[in-house]
Amino acid sequence: MASLLSIFQPNKQLSSFKKQLKNVVGFTPNNIMLYKTALSHRSIREGADENNERLEFLGDAVLGSVIAHYLFRKYPYKGEGFLTEMRSKMVNRQKLNEIALKMGLKKITIYNKFDGALKTSQIFGNTLEALVGAVYLDKGYNKTQTWVEKYIILPHLFMDDLEVIDINIKNKLYGWANKNGKNVDFATIDESLENGRRLFTIAATLDGEIIAQAKAFNKKDASHLAAQIAIEKLGL
């Protein structure tokens, strides 16, 4: 563990971390310690005030607020239902993980690379939320808002595409199955506690066989995501 943390210790390596961080976030951070915490996964640092889980809690809320305001401005005549749906398309766990990987967060996140379970988890999406929390504490809300729009929303979230994603994507799948004499179903195959929140894994099955699965903090989002993956796999 010492060897993994030591990348921060020598001055040379600290300045190399600063450079890498600056490349990822696009600005010069003030309080570098905040970013170190934001990029430290629990598998390396167990103390609640040392790893990124508290910053993830904060960043998740700040990101939710920035996204809500963005949607509020972008769609001045749409109702609350539409705005809520769009937000869940933008900030679900899978999407955030994809964005984090595209932003290069994997290179600068400090986690236990020998823990196989982490490979399939979405720790980089969580790290991205923690990074938003760090930017917020370091630069304030207004700069965070500008940063999220410029570095997360504009390059990674294509609103026109998200808009047309079929809200009733499950119905699309059922419709296809019905036409083709197949049987599609959804089942909760796992339920675990993650920091006190229930995390559901829901599988989409085709004639009894699992064809896709997804995790989320509520069943609706999980089955929606599973349906999306199933549709991609089936090429519909």
Residue 60 annotated as catalytic? yes
Q: Which is nearer to its own copies, 27 or 82 (CB)?
A: 82
- CB of residue 103 vs its own copies: minimum separation in angstroms? 22
> Can you read off the two tokens belonging to residue 148?
């999220």
Which of 17, 56 has the CB closer to its own copies? Answer: 56
Q: How far is the CB of 174 from its own copies (least distance, A)?
A: 19
| Minimum CB–partner distance for residue 63 and its own copies (Å) | 9
Residues 6 or more apart from 1 whose CB is under 8 A from it? 44
Closest distance of CB 109 from its own copies, Å: 17
Catalytic residue among 50, 60, 85, 98: 60
Which residues here bind its own copies, judged by CB under 8 A? Answer: 48-49, 53-54, 56-58, 60-62, 64-65, 67-69, 72, 76-85, 136, 140-142, 145, 195-198, 218, 220
Q: Which of 46, 49, 80, 129 is catalytic?
A: 129
SS3 at position 26: coil
CB within 8 Å of 203: residues ≥ 6 apart = 186, 187, 189, 210, 212, 213, 226
Residue 68, classified by CB atoms within 10 Å of its CB into exposed (0-12), middle (13-18) or buried (19+), is middle
Kindly tell me which of 54 and 156 has the beta carbon lying closer to its own copies. 54
Q: Are strands 197-206 and 184-194 parallel, antiparallel or unpaired?
A: antiparallel
Active site (annotated) includes residue 85: no
Residues with Cβ within 8 Å of 25's Cβ and at least 6 positions away in sequence, in order, are 35, 131, 135, 147, 151
Using the minimum distance from each CB to its own copies, give the nearer residue, 162 or 177: 162
**For its own copies, the closer CB: 194 or 207:** 194
Round to the nearest angstrom and report the end-to-end CA distance of the chain: 46
CB 217 within 8 A of CB 188: no
Q: Could you tell me the smallest distance in angstroms from the CB atom of residue 133 to its own copies?
A: 8
**Cα 145 from Cα 125, distance rounded (Å):** 18
Residue 218 and residue 220: Cα distance in Å, rounded? Answer: 6
Q: Which residues are catalytic?
A: 60, 129
